[in-house]
Amino acid sequence: MSAIRLQSKEKAPSARKEKWERYVAALKYAKYVCFHPFDGFWDLAHEKKGSIAAATTFLVLFLVTHVLKLMYTNFQFVNAPLQYINVFEQAASLLLPFLILCLGNWSLTTLFDGKGRFGDIYTAMCYALVPFIVIQLPLVFISNIIAFDEAAFYTVLMSVSVVYSLALAFIGLMQVHDYSPGKTLVFLVATVLAASIIIFLMLVFFSLLSDLVSFFVSLYREIAFRLY
């Protein structure tokens, strides 16, 4: 009895350790993805080199970077009305479009022989955010030690981070679905359309839902008033 317990006690940490090591390896794999995007994304999707956990970490870091950028970049470089900013609203304003675009892409490519499953698309998209995080997070600090006329330095790095991430996202989708570049481009445009349809459906759904709820509420009130 005690031996078994001891054994399991010994085994548990090692399993956790293994899990942790896999997670760290998945995080570290982002470096390879950034510098060898074609191989990197292929293996990410088909060799299971990445993990959902690591991907989610990048997504969270991405949102945190955005918020930190708004709050702690020197006022010379960012035009954020701090008195009006709601951190959660800001984070949601990036998270929601991101998820809807992933969903839109998945729902289209899955019909047009895209190889990627939703998890793959999500992982690839999150890994594509890495340059954005890695460049912009230090920039928040750097913005506090440079002056306004040195802004060129700041803006160049800023745009590099965005372009890099967009390029990675493009390559990522290409590799995940095993598409040609042209097809990927077509599906990117279609994805935006799909995303707007999703938003439209969501709006319709929520407005119908609120109508439904208010109907039952008034029904209840009506009955309640009649009975009393």
Our CB check for other proteins shows the closer of 47 and 149 to be 149
**Least distance in angstroms from the C-beta of 216 to other proteins:** 22
Binding site for other proteins (CB under 8 A): 75-76, 79, 81, 83-84, 89, 92-93, 96-97, 100, 145, 147-150, 195, 199, 202-203, 206
3-state SS record for the chain: CHHHHHHHHHHHHHHHHHHHHHHHHHHHHHHHHHHCHHHHHHHHHHCCCCCHHHHHHHHHHHHHHHHHHHHHCCCCCCCCCHHHCCHHHHHHHHHHHHHHHHHHHHHHHCCCCCCCCHHHHHHHHHHHCHHHHHHHHHHHHHCCCCCHHHHHHHHHHHHHHHHHHHHHHHHHHHHHHCCCHHHHHHHHHHHHHHHHHHHHHHHHHHHHHHHHHHHHHHHHHHHHHHHC
For other proteins, which is the closer residue by CB, 156 or 202?
202
What span, in angstroms and rounded, lies between the C-alpha atoms of 77 and 107?
39
Select 33 or 63, whichever has its Cβ closest to other proteins: 63
Nearer to other proteins, 180 or 196 (CB): 196
Of 50 and 104, CB closest to other proteins = 104
CB of 119 to other proteins, least distance (A): 23
Smallest separation, CB 105 to other proteins (Å): 15
Q: Which is nearer to other proteins, 56 or 93 (CB)?
A: 93
Shortest spacing between CB 81 and other proteins, in angstroms: 5
**CB contact set of 136 (below 8 Å; sequence gap of 6+):** 65, 69, 158, 161
Q: How far is the CB of 184 from other proteins (least distance, A)?
A: 21
Q: How far is the CB of 204 from other proteins (least distance, A)?
A: 12
